[in-house]
Structure 1
Amino acid sequence: MPRAAKEPIASKKKAKDPNAPKKPCGAYMWFCKEMREAVKADNPGASVTDIGRRLGELWKEANEEEKRKFHKLADEDKERYNRENARYTMRAKAQ
């Protein structure tokens, strides 16, 4: 007996609005953005997993003074997101 063709499962996810503001990055992500190229240069044959592992080790080794810069960047990015999101929601309500 042939199997019946399965109907595609309807997506339960709401489609993302391409005009919505981009979410803010955390301090660790700002750290990774800055350090990734240096880690790749120090470890030319390393895989993506190895680079990520090394970045995590460097983040753990960093003291609060070193991390403060990245926390400041994260705070600024969060403020940017809040401003853009407020503007976006006001436009959405107006429509």
Structure 2
Amino acid sequence: MAPKKVTKKGTEGKKKRAKKDPNAPKKPLSSYMFFAKDKRAEILKKQPTLKSDIGKVGKMIGEEWAKLSSSQKMTYQKKAEQEKIRYQREMSLYNKKK
């Protein structure tokens, strides 16, 4: 194992990630993630053999998302906006408790 380089700030190496608070509210889902959640269940119902091929399912979902018109995407965008509002509300309560 090669010795670690020493810089002015200390040793170079892996940086430690801050631990997440388990009580913190979950981040909001995007409009695409709401769509993917719905479509994934639908695709796996039609083709149960794809259950083990996550990449293929993800690619199919991405292609379908790209084909959607903006008016069809609007329903998922509304869900995402509501989710964002929920997250902001919960974060403000969470930060007050800290």
Normalising to structure 2: TM-score of the pair? Answer: 0.79
Matched, 1:44 2:42: no
Structure 1 position 13 matched with structure 2 position 17: yes
Identity of aligned residues (%): 34
| Deviation string, structure 1 residues 33-57 (Cα, Å, up to 9, x no partner) | 1111111123332211111100001
The answer to which of 31-40 and 19-28 deviates more is: 31-40
Aligned counterpart for 2:31 among listed residues 27, 31, 46: 27
- Residue 95 of structure 2 is aligned to residue 89 of structure 1: yes
TM-score by length of 1: 0.82
Question: What are the ranges of 5 or more consecutive residues in structure 2 without an aligned counterpart?
Answer: 2-12
One-letter amino acid of the counterpart of residue 31, structure 1 = F
Secondary structure of 1:32's aligned partner: helix
Shift of 1:10: 7.9
Long gaps (5+) in structure 1: 4-8
* Letter of the 2:69 counterpart: N
Deviates more, 1:19-28 or 1:41-50: 41-50
Number of residue equivalences? 85
Equivalent of residue 63 in structure 2, options 50, 54, 57: 57
SS in 2 for 1:45: helix
Report the aligned-residue RMSD: 1.6
